[in-house]
Amino acid sequence: MQTADSESGASGYELYYWPGLAGRAEFIRLIFAEVNQTYKDVDDIAELEKISLSTQSEGFPNFAPPVLKNGDFTLAQTPVICRYLGAKFGLMPEKETDRWIADQLNATVHDFIAEGCLVFHAKNFTDEYCKSIYLVFLH
């Protein structure tokens, strides 16, 4: 099983995500940009398949990209990766209550993005649902 202690490998950060898409990986890229951290984008479909839940044979399974890898440590799920990098790079508040508020904000942003994606990617999408999303988030 992978541990955070094994993340100090010489290979550096690798960010696995679909080719040509910003999507959920963009939040992770923004954190790297904020702290001026180099990383490698990995968008090769064969590599993405190797690291996904359906074919991964070692370590803790990753559901789907984006996946962050550093040495033999991997981590999936955008909000979790953002929380991890925020703590790693000193972007989290010092006060515990403020850290929980930051975590709440992180979860809220990703909930909002997930709901917004439904507008473009949902199946059997109804006019009523579209109107409710519009009223809640855009007004």
Assign residue 71 the CATH number of its domain: 3.40.30.10
Claim to verify: residue 76 and residue 129 sit in the same structural domain: no
Nearest by Cα to 7 from 58, 87, 68: 68
Number of domains comprising the chain: 2
pLDDT of residue 49: 80
Claim to verify: residue 83 and residue 108 sit in the same structural domain: no
| 89, 28 Cβ separation under 8 angstroms | no
| 70, 13 Cβ separation under 8 angstroms | yes
pTM of the model: 0.72
pLDDT in tens, the chain (139 residues): 333 434 444 449 999 998 888 888 999 999 999 999 999 999 988 888 888 765 555 667 777 889 999 988 889 999 999 999 999 999 999 999 999 999 999 899 888 887 776 666 655 555 665 555 555 545 4
105-124: pLDDT as tens digits? 989 988 888 777 666 665 55
Claim to verify: residue 44 and residue 104 sit in the same structural domain: no
Claim to verify: residue 76 and residue 121 sit in the same structural domain: no
pLDDT of residue 53: 64
Radius of gyration of the chain (CA): 17
pLDDT of residue 112: 83
pLDDT of residue 20: 85
| Domain limits for position 17 | 4-88
